Amino acid sequence: MAKNYKSEAMAAIHETMEGLYESGAIDKQTMRDFDEACLTTLQPLAPEEIRAIREREHLSQPVFARYLNVSKGLVSDWERGVKKPGGPALKLLTVIQKKGVRAIA
């Protein structure tokens, strides 16, 4: 998956540091610090946003769940605010939010 940088300058810095890391010039912790400084982080989605994404795509909860490889009950829990998506599910939701469900289909 492509990396999302905070700016073009941060992309250049990060790519340089990756080269140094791969050559052994910097350690793993230093590389993690550069990851944190240069890469954007995923923002959490509110229950209303998750429902709006699904409805914008004209999908039922079971079909939406299938695209995300989760259960219908989990989608329902997200939309009611009982649970929050994280990790790969949050990344997929963010991709769908920005590019539509066809981006992952």
1-36 pLDDT, tens per residue? 568 888 899 999 999 999 999 999 999 999 999 998
Band (105; pLDDT cuts 50, 70, 90): confident
* pLDDT, position 42: 85
* Higher-pLDDT residue of 3, 71: 71
User: In the predicted model, what is the mean pLDDT of the chain?
Assistant: 94
Domains within the chain, CATH numbers bracketed? 8-38 (no CATH), 47-103 (1.10.260.40)
What's the rounded Cα separation, in Å, for the pair 105 and 102? 5
CA 43 → CA 69, 74, 82, 105, distances in Å? 21, 19, 18, 22
Are 14 and 38 within 8 A, CB to CB?
yes
The pTM score is 0.70
* pLDDT, position 53: 98
